[in-house]
Amino acid sequence: MAGTPGLLRLFLILLCADGQVSPYGAHWKPTWPAYRLPVVLPQSTLNLAKPHFGAEAKLEVSSSCGPQCHKGSPLPTYEEAKQYLSYETLYANGSRTETQVGIYVLRSGEGESSGKSRRKRQIYGYDSRFSIFGKDFLLNYPFSTSVKLSTGCTGTLVAEKHVLTAAHCIHDGKTYVKGTQKLRVGFLKPKFKDGGRGANDSSSAVPEKMKFQWIRVKRTHVPKGWIKGNANDIGMDYDYALLELKKPHKRKFMKIGVSPPAKQLPGGRIHFSGYDNDRPGNLVYRFCDVKDETYDLLYQQCDAQPGASGSGVYVRMWKRQQQKWERKIIGIFSGHQWVDMNGSPQDFNVAVRITPLKYAQICYWIKGNYLDCREG
């Protein structure tokens, strides 16, 4: 890749473009499917004791339960689904609540995972990740929607004041990780020489490099499916969290959407960008094919390293109602799994799919009104 900077630049320009450029021809467009979505509504809220913030931040989750393990597990009952989608809210002052939910027009999922990992390995053969350099790309959509958490993970802007990330970035399944009470979200911005922002001579405002500008988090939501299950049982299926910022970020954000079946994804591929810890300070973009799926998880071999956890997994498809192309977040990059494939161990990176139930829950966290969450 290093020998073809011109081709890489052209590729990134096309990726940033919102025009109707499609590799599929004029007569076929991968189209966002229409779903009949359920409703997830709060029923009761209890005050909880202030938590301990003693867990070490884990930048990835490992599990040995693969696609067949998940596909063979029983569907959750209605009561179990309500328990998993009930959620805990942590506020900036350290107070905490637990909210029980009701579900209407239920669409059940499936899932089970267990926690046992082997040697860390998240690069598959030739490293196919792209480090994104230059403010022309970093400050443009979709790369500008990727943000860094002060706990070390990645998140994605999904509304004016909201960031979607992985639950394990702030909670280990038992308690909150160190630093969560003063959690901040970092936005890459140009760093100017000579205090250029205030200078009259615009030539002095020459971008030298990028730096993070941080915004404090007002509150966080974590589903009880993660807190009850962690990476054992059903936990990995619920490895997602929503952060609400103390003030709007004033950037273009990416909407969430219900994850279509893998065979309906354009080229069978997914995309995501994150702050991999082996490339400090760099935003790293990658795309790859989906290898397998369950109702709650996507299995792929996108090259990734710890720090990319929490990245929003997205695709770009045709929106029939508005007659335009639109990118949406359809999952959250979670971590790594070793899978027994007919007696031979194989490793995958795993993303949590946004199912209709998860969409209804996350959308309600953002909007506060289920009537605004009827279209996924």
- Cα 63 from Cα 235, distance rounded (Å): 10
Catalytic residue among 113, 273, 309, 334: 309
Contacts of 165 (CB under 8 A, 6+ apart): 149, 153, 154, 155, 156, 240, 241, 242, 243, 310, 332
Question: Residues 168, 116, 269, 237: is their CA dihedral positive or negative?
Answer: negative
* 249 flagged as catalytic: no
* 27 flagged as catalytic: no
Angle at 217 between CA 214 and CA 223, to 5 degrees: 135
- Cα 240 from Cα 207, distance rounded (Å): 35
Say if residues 352 and 297 touch (Cβ distance below 8 Å). Answer: yes
Overall residue count recorded for the chain in this entry: 376
C-alpha to C-alpha distances, 36 to 64, 77, 84, 298, 331, nearest whole angstrom: 33, 20, 21, 22, 19
Q: Which residues of 75-101 are buried (b: 16+ CB within 10 A; e: fewer)?
A: ebeeeebbebbbbbbbeeeeebeebeb
Query: Which helix (DSSP H) or strand (DSSP E) does residue 367 occupy?
Result: helix 356-367
Amino acid of residue 29:
K
Q: Is 143 left (phi over 0), alpha (psi -120 to 50) or beta?
A: alpha
Catalytic residue among 162, 168, 271, 336: 168
* 168 flagged as catalytic: yes
- Cα 163 from Cα 214, distance rounded (Å): 13
* Tokens standing for residue 66: 């693969």
Residues classed as catalytic: 168, 233, 309
